[in-house]
Amino acid sequence: MSEQATTGLRRFGARALPHAFILPPIAYLCLFMFWPLARQMWMSLTDAKLATPNEGQFVGLANYARLVETPAFYASLKVTLVYATSAVVLGVTLGVISAFAINRPFRGRAVVRAVLLFGWAVPNVAAALIWLWMFNERSGVLNQILTGVGLSRLRWLTSIDWAMPSILMVTIWQVAPFVMLVVLAALQSVPDEVREAARVDGADPLNVFRAVTWPHILPAVQLAGLLVAVWSIRRFDIIYLLTGGGPLGSTSTLVVRIRQTAFEAHELGMASAYGAVGLVLALLIAAIHQLVDRRRARWMADR
Binding flag, residue 124, another protein (CB under 8 A): no
- Check if the beta carbon of residue 226 is closer than 8 Å to that of residue 289: yes
| Alpha-carbon gap, residue 47 to 266, rounded angstroms | 10
Within 8 A by CB and 6+ apart from 72, the residues are: 249, 252, 257
Chain center to CA of 62: 30
Minimum distance of another protein from residue 135's CB (angstroms): 7
Touching another protein, residues 189-228 (CB under 8 A):
none
Among 62, 101, 223, 241, binds another protein (CB under 8 A): 241
Q: Do the Cβ atoms of 243 and 169 come closer than 8 Å?
A: no
Closer to another protein by CB, 135 or 274: give it.
135
**CA nearest 239: which of 40, 8, 82?**
82
Using rule CB under 8 A, residue 266 touches another protein? yes
**243 contacts another protein (rule: CB under 8 A):** yes
Q: Which of 19, 107, 138, 298 binds another protein (CB under 8 A)?
A: 138
137 contacts another protein (rule: CB under 8 A): yes
The identity of residue 175, as a single letter, is: V
Phi-psi label, residue 86: left if phi above 0, alpha if psi -120 to 50, beta otherwise: alpha
- Write the interaction track for another protein spanning residues 55-94; mark x where CB under 8 A is met and - where it is not: ----------------------------------------
Number of residues engaging another protein in binding (CB under 8 A): 32
Quick check: 37 binds another protein (CB under 8 A)? no
Over the window 150 to 179, marking each residue x when it contacts another protein by CB under 8 A and - when it does not, the resulting string is -----xxxxxx-------------------
Q: Is 49 in the site for another protein (CB under 8 A)?
A: yes
Residue 281 backbone dihedrals phi, psi, to 5 degrees: -60, -50
Smallest gap from residue 198 Cβ to another protein (A) = 53
Q: In this structure, are residues 177 and 116 in contact, taking their beta carbons and an 8 Å threshold?
A: yes
Largest CA distance in the chain: 92
Shorter beta-carbon distance to another protein: residue 63 or 98: 63
Q: Pick the closer one to another protein by CB: 30 or 72.
A: 72
The SS3 call for residue 47 is coil
66-91 burial, b for 16+ CB within 10 Å, e for fewer? ebeeeeebeebbebbeebbebbbebb
Residues at the site binding another protein, with contacts judged by CB under 8 A: 49-53, 132, 135-138, 140, 155-160, 240-249, 260, 263-266
